Copies of this chain bind each other. A is one copy, B any other.
């Protein structure tokens, strides 16, 4: 038996109404400094330059994922029956803590630094941290169990499927949350209906046949969020500038390790061969990054200071579709002629996405037909079947200063 709080705590949340907390270990993790740090990292690091209200943090998202997992445990009969109380607490904690290793502007940051947030999530759970102590105080070994769900090595596959797969609490929350905070409707889908149609069969979470329509809606919501929000060219422009700034810091530092002077927060992240400590990781949040940009804005290196200024004042790169190889050549020439260093001022970014890809196992969505048979989503839905046969949508752009 896990210790319960005297009274259920509730946190107001616009996406879910309330977040309900019943177990003490959940509450203790929320109050740990590592979890509180998620307030200082935006859920979508670059979307706020497109949708000015997309300022919501990973803190709220993590609570939201926890809440969806909690509801799955309590409201979906098959899951309620299938999981022990320990499994339930473990999977709720996994939902809550799955993003705890994220750094600022994760997408960009991971691309340039080879730091994977999943690894830091597990380190934060298993090394000497407040959240680690909260977990171990509740039950010895709990931190490793939670980590095993997050890195998909837990023996019970249902747990990881609930947290991160194709139809999981992580995606469900971020689609709804990003839709709410951007003010777009694209990410909306019928969460109640999706939850009501989940079943377990063959150790796999499936959707009842009658729920196929709400899944199609969810698939399309995801697709539209990618193109309208996550892959919006202005957000990608912010990421290009950010990426250029980090390259420049790295290039300067490799020549002269002292070049950044009193700006120490980036040190562990730009030096080759250094693996940032948990303490460095803890200190690098979006607040300290923006403070760093302020400092860099006054740096004597013109490229550094210009790129930092661009991030702070949202004076981003413009962009152009890449028609063929010549586009890039022409842009590079033009930009160089204008006096810009093309390494930092010409950035190519290609994205492509399709609404759904049936990859089998956890990477597919399975439909439980009324006759008891199991079909992969693209068999059960004519819409999805059409879509996976169609072309991927792609968007290839080059970014450069105005």
Measuring CB to CB, which residues of chain A are less than 8 angstroms from any residue of chain B? 10-15, 17-18, 31, 33, 36-37, 39-40, 48, 51-53, 55-57, 59-60, 63, 180-186, 188-190, 192, 196, 213, 216-217, 220, 223-224, 227-228, 262, 283, 285-291, 294, 312-315, 355, 382-383, 385-393
Which of B12, B52, B57 sits near A55, CB closer than 8 Å?
Answer: B57
Q: How far is the CA of A378 from the CA of B289 in the complex (A)?
A: 44
Q: Which residues of B contact A290 (CB under 8 A)?
A: 40, 285, 287-288
Q: How far is the CA of A373 from the CA of B336 in the complex (A)?
A: 32
A53 lies within 8 A of B60 (CB): yes
| Residue of chain B at shortest CB distance from A10 | B196
B188 lies within 8 A of A213 (CB): no
Which of B190, B192, B387 sits near A186, CB closer than 8 Å?
Answer: B190
B12 lies within 8 A of A314 (CB): no
Q: Which residues of B contact A313 (CB under 8 A)?
A: 31, 33, 36
Ranked 7 nearest A-B pairs via Cβ: A386-B390, A14-B183, A291-B291, A287-B290, A287-B287, A386-B386, A33-B313
Q: List 23 A-B pairs, Cβ < 8 Å.
A: A12-B51, A13-B52, A13-B53, A18-B196, A33-B312, A33-B313, A36-B313, A39-B48, A39-B52, A52-B60, A53-B60, A55-B55, A185-B188, A185-B189, A186-B213, A188-B188, A213-B224, A217-B224, A223-B383, A285-B290, A288-B291, A288-B294, A386-B391
Q: How far is the CB of A361 from chain B (nearest CB, A)?
A: 24
Q: Which residues of B contact A10 (CB under 8 A)?
A: 196
Q: Which residues of B contact A291 (CB under 8 A)?
A: 287-288, 291
Number of copies: 4
Q: How far is the CA of A189 from the CA of B185 in the complex (A)?
A: 7
Which of B184, B288, B392 sits near A382, CB closer than 8 Å?
Answer: B392
| Residue of chain B at shortest CB distance from A50 | B12
Query: Which of A40, A180, A287, A313: most chain B CB closer than 10 A?
Result: A287
| Residue of chain B at shortest CB distance from A389 | B386
| Residue of chain B at shortest CB distance from A265 | B291
Q: Which residues of B contact A190 (CB under 8 A)?
A: 184-186
Q: Which residues of B contact A386 (CB under 8 A)?
A: 386-391
Q: How far is the CA of A373 from the CA of B315 in the complex (A)?
A: 31
Contacts A60-B53, A220-B217, A389-B386; A182 near B48 (Cβ below 8 A): no
Q: How far is the CA of A53 from the CA of B391 in the complex (A)?
A: 38
Known: A14-B53, A355-B383. 19 other contacts (CB 8 A): A17-B183, A37-B312, A39-B52, A39-B55, A53-B181, A55-B55, A55-B60, A184-B190, A185-B217, A186-B213, A188-B188, A217-B224, A220-B220, A285-B290, A287-B288, A287-B291, A288-B290, A387-B387, A387-B390
Q: How far is the CB of A239 from chain B (nearest CB, A)?
A: 17
Q: Which residues of B contact A228 (CB under 8 A)?
A: 213
| Residue of chain B at shortest CB distance from A33 | B313
Contacts A14-B183, A196-B10, A288-B294; A56 near B53 (Cβ below 8 A): yes
Q: How far is the CB of A338 from chain B (nearest CB, A)?
A: 20
Q: Which residues of B contact A33 (CB under 8 A)?
A: 312-313
| Residue of chain B at shortest CB distance from A262 | B262
Q: Which residues of B contact A57 (CB under 8 A)?
A: 55
